[in-house]
């Protein structure tokens, strides 16, 4: 599933080709993409308008058209944007045709969970994001004390806390595992139990792994591709994620896999001590 680095990688690849151009035609082949809005309603709101900016908040791509009309695109499990794909490209659901010289863009999505939603007026846009998207990890407001304050009183495991988009935006399964390993925090530890220094370490680790992921053009472990078809490379730099049975890069203990927050989770239980009441998960070799 694309997380912040993957979505931002897509945004950076596509934005320079589209910003400033007028949307001539929005071809929606799959009405489920924009439901409950009918494709005709979405087309009426956006066609003929100039795309002023392509922004991102959390995992949302925000297509800001003139007159405060915004299209909010979420890639969900398998969505991506492709530049100038051939007609008949597999899994194409939507195509954006812009006026003037430059490429077309298609939204392709094998599993069809991706969405396109409309916000008319900047107040509506802020209300939409305010209800769904929390603090932006690359913003100035994301500090150790801010993370500590958000976690205070929460009994949920710290991993579930990191995955909750309404608190910290953009972190998904991969980057949560990698950040918790670097901060030496067990994924099942209660979010509210972390200390101020631990909150600072976790904040720094979240920013570090997201930056590393972005620098590598994201991670490709299943469908994710850049808009030109190239794969990301961050999967080659995972320290724990998908490394079950391999030795921890820090201490040599075997990395284990278990379920936390409903997701397959990887950790070194020597570096990331289980909280009281949680037994160590069995190692493969044992
Ligand atoms: Zn270790």
> What would the pLDDT profile of 38-81 be if each residue is shown by its tens digit?
999 999 999 999 999 999 999 999 999 999 999 999 999 999 99
Please give the distance, rounded to the nearest whole angstrom, from the Cα atom of residue 207 to the centre of ligand 1: 21
DSSP string, 200-228: HHHHHHHHHHHHHHHHTT---SSS---TT
Please give the distance, rounded to the nearest whole angstrom, from the Cα atom of residue 239 to the centre of ligand 1: 10
- Alpha-carbon distances, residue 217 vs 27, 70, 235, 240, 281 (angstroms): 28, 26, 10, 19, 33
pLDDT above 90 covers what percent of the chain? 92
Please give the distance, rounded to the nearest whole angstrom, from the Cα atom of residue 119 to the centre of ligand 1: 46
CA distance 165 to 43: 29
Q: Which residues are near ligand 1, the ion (C-beta closer than 5 Å)?
A: 248, 250-251, 253, 268, 270-271
Instruction: Please compute the mean of the pLDDT values over residues 134-150 and round it to a whole number.
Output: 97
Please give the distance, rounded to the nearest whole angstrom, from the Cα atom of residue 284 to the centre of ligand 1: 15
> What would the pLDDT profile of 246-286 be if each residue is shown by its tens digit?
999 999 999 999 999 999 999 999 999 999 999 999 987 65
For residue 51, give the H/E element and its range: strand 51-57
Instruction: Please compute the mean of the pLDDT values over residues 127-141 and round it to a whole number.
Output: 97
Please give the distance, rounded to the nearest whole angstrom, from the Cα atom of residue 147 to the centre of ligand 1: 24
3 an active-site residue? yes
For residue 263, give the H/E element and its range: strand 263-267
Please give the distance, rounded to the nearest whole angstrom, from the Cα atom of residue 254 to the centre of ligand 1: 8
> What pLDDT is stored for residue 54 in this prediction?
98
Global pTM exceeds 0.85:
yes
Please give the distance, rounded to the nearest whole angstrom, from the Cα atom of residue 183 to the centre of ligand 1: 12
Choice among 56, 57, 59, 93 that is catalytic: 59
Please give the distance, rounded to the nearest whole angstrom, from the Cα atom of residue 175 to the centre of ligand 1: 17
Please give the distance, rounded to the nearest whole angstrom, from the Cα atom of residue 172 to the centre of ligand 1: 22
CA distance 236 to 247: 15
- Whether the predicted pLDDT of 87 surpasses 70: yes
> Between 4-18 and 196-215, two packed helices, what is the crossing angle to 10 degrees?
40
Q: Report whether 5 contacts 176 (CB < 8 A).
A: no
- Whether the predicted pLDDT of 138 surpasses 90: yes
> What pLDDT is stored for residue 230 in this prediction?
87
> What pLDDT is stored for residue 285 in this prediction?
63
Q: Give the residue from 240, 255, 238 showing the smallest Cα distance to 5.
A: 238
Enumerate residues 6+ apart whose C-beta is below 8 A from 21: 50, 51, 98, 99, 100, 102
> What pLDDT is stored for residue 286 in this prediction?
56
159 an active-site residue? no
Q: Report whether 17 contacts 104 (CB < 8 A).
A: no
Choice among 27, 50, 263, 283 that is catalytic: 263
246 an active-site residue? no
Please give the distance, rounded to the nearest whole angstrom, from the Cα atom of residue 84 to the centre of ligand 1: 45
């Amino acid at each position: 599933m694309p997380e912040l680095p993957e979505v931002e990688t897509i945004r950076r690849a596509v934005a320079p080709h589209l910003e400033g151009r007028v949307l001539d035609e929005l071809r929606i082949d799959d009405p489920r993409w924009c439901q409950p809005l009918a494709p005709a309603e979405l087309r009426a709101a956006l066609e003929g308008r100039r795309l002023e900016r392509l922004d991102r908040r959390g995992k949302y791509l925000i297509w800001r058209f003139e007159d405060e009309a915004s299209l909010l695109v979420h890639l969900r499990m398998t969505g991506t944007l492709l530049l100038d794909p051939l007609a008949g490209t597999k899994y194409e659901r939507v195509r954006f045709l812009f006026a003037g010289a430059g490429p077309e863009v298609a939204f392709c999505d094998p599993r069809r969970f991706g969405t396109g939603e409309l916000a008319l007026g900047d107040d509506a846009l802020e209300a939409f994001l305010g209800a769904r998207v929390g603090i932006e990890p690359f913003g100035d407001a994301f500090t150790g004390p801010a993370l500590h304050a958000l976690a205070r009183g929460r009994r949920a495991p710290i991993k579930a806390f990191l995955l909750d988009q309404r608190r910290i935006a953009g972190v998904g399964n991969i980057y949560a595992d990698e950040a918790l390993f670097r901060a030496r925090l067990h994924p099942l530890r209660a979010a509210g139990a972390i200390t101020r220094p631990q909150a600072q370490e976790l904040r720094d680790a979240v920013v570090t792994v997201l930056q590393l992921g972005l620098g590598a053009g994201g991670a490709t472990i299943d469908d994710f591709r850049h808009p030109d078809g190239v794969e990301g490379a961050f999967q080659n730099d995972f320290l724990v994620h998908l490394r079950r049975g391999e030795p921890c890069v820090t201490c040599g203990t075997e990395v284990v896999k278990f379920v936390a927050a409903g997701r397959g989770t990887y950790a070194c239980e020597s570096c990331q001590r289980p909280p009281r009441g949680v037994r160590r998960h069995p190692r493969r070799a044992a």
